Amino acid sequence: LAAEKQGFKHFMLKEIFEQPRAVRDTLIGRLPQTRADADALDFGNLAGLDLATLAERNKITIVACGTSWHAALAGKYLIEQLARLPVEVDLASEFRYREPIVREGDLVLAISQSGETADTKAALQEAQRLGAVGLAICNVVDSSIARAADHVLYTHAGPEISVASTKAFTTQLTMLTMLAVHFGRQTGALADARAGALLDGLREMPVAIDAVLGVQAAIKIIARRWVKARDWLYVGRGLSFPVALEGALKLKEISYVHAEGYASGEMKHGPIALIDESVPVVVLALEGPGYHKTLSNLEEVRSRGAKIIAVATAGDDQIGDVADDVILVPKVDPFLQPILASVPLQLLAYHVADLKGTDVDQPRNLAKSVTVE
């Protein structure tokens, strides 16, 4: 077992550090490594999916559970903004029992690392029964969901042993980003230059992730400072919202500390009541369209005594004035930020849990894949 961990203390840490390779493997086969045109992505014919009709009178529904559901939420933001196709996201366990409205020609996209989650499989099959084309994003090859779908896109992250999902999540985000760009080119919503820039950014992503892994020591110091905190908040807006949800989930799964993810704009509708100087607030404050709004949300919580841990863009010279701790990540296109910004939050959760001495790879009460309802 020790050999399988390749010198890492836990599988989770090993898998966090595998992400540059994992993301590269997700890109390979779909995205030519050399600079090519904006239509370079290869997705085959996706089970004959007719995007023109879909855009006119159908919709996409994404179903998933847990971490994969957070990827699904990011997928909605990506596909709607880059391809202008309507996307609904649902928890698989809700979707299957709420008499969902699905029309002939809809697309259902099931996301599952294991490909064995019972609720996700049932949701996919229910949508297919109602006339949707079923597409799956899975990591495990030939898994039940992969087999049930009309077409499957494999992430190729390699086996994920740690119960807490890390590389499976960032590779799902990578696949969804490529898919959104591909759809955007097909619908005509995404201009040549924008698509080209996003594809270049994806090619550079493994190197950017490497740079984030390089600041592990600084993240460990932050973890040590906050290891005794009993409640944490994670906030972000836009594409950083699912990243905040996932950051909070990682911490609660492995450290047994209460953590909540929130959309920044919702803070004042409840969670702000929790804030005092004992509650660290992790703020996704990356450069991009929501940045200035996020800074003002940050002031709101700071004036109530919150301690701020900000994830910000390298070169940001304002954030240090308002945050207690800052984790900088390389500047990338705002649509690519979720992949990159997830990594420091994985490391933060990992180090808090490790300092607490929990069973990081096998947290209590949790299973790697949930094959029962």
Question: Interface with ligand G6P by CB under 6 A: which residues?
Answer: 65-68, 112-114, 117, 120, 163, 165, 366-370
CB of 90 to ligand G6P, least distance (A): 14
Compute CA distances 245 → 32, 153, 171, 197, 249, whole Å: 32, 24, 17, 27, 6
Compute how many other C-beta atoms are within 10 angstroms of the C-beta atom of residue 334: 19
Residue 6 CB partners (closer than 8 Å, separation 6+): 14
Quick one: DSSP state of residue 132? P
CB of 56 to ligand G6P, least distance (A): 31
CB of 340 to ligand G6P, least distance (A): 20
Residue 297 CB partners (closer than 8 Å, separation 6+): 235, 237, 264, 265, 267, 283
Amino acid identity at 151: H
Q: Taking a C-beta distance cutoff of 8 angstroms, is the pair 102, 131 a contact?
A: yes
Instruction: Give the residue with the Cβ less far from ligand G6P, 120 or 128.
Output: 120
Instruction: Give the residue with the Cβ less far from ligand G6P, 31 or 118.
Output: 118
CB of 367 to ligand G6P, least distance (A): 6
CA gyration radius, the chain = 20
Instruction: Give the residue with the Cβ less far from ligand G6P, 46 or 111.
Output: 111
Please state, in angstroms and rounded to a whole number, the distance separating the CA atoms of residues 108 and 131. Answer: 10
Instruction: Give the residue with the Cβ less far from ligand G6P, 194 or 368.
Output: 368
CB of 65 to ligand G6P, least distance (A): 4
CB of 296 to ligand G6P, least distance (A): 33
Instruction: Give the residue with the Cβ less far from ligand G6P, 12 or 329.
Output: 12
CB of 176 to ligand G6P, least distance (A): 13
Looking at beta carbons, which residue is closest to ligand G6P? 66
Please state, in angstroms and rounded to a whole number, the distance separating the CA atoms of residues 200 and 156. Answer: 20
Active site residue 368: yes
Please state, in angstroms and rounded to a whole number, the distance separating the CA atoms of residues 360 and 294. Answer: 32
Instruction: Give the residue with the Cβ less far from ligand G6P, 294 or 342.
Output: 342
Instruction: Give the residue with the Cβ less far from ligand G6P, 138 or 341.
Output: 138
Please state, in angstroms and rounded to a whole number, the distance separating the CA atoms of residues 294 and 271. Answer: 16
Please state, in angstroms and rounded to a whole number, the distance separating the CA atoms of residues 307 and 304. Answer: 9
| CA angle (143, 114, 112) in 5-degree steps | 100
Catalytic residue, from 5, 220, 356, 368: name it: 368
| Edge-to-edge strand list for the sheet holding 60-64 | 87-91, 60-64, 107-112, 133-138, 151-154
List, in sequence order, every residue forming a beta bridge with 8; answer none if it has no partner: none
**What is the set of active-site residues?**
368
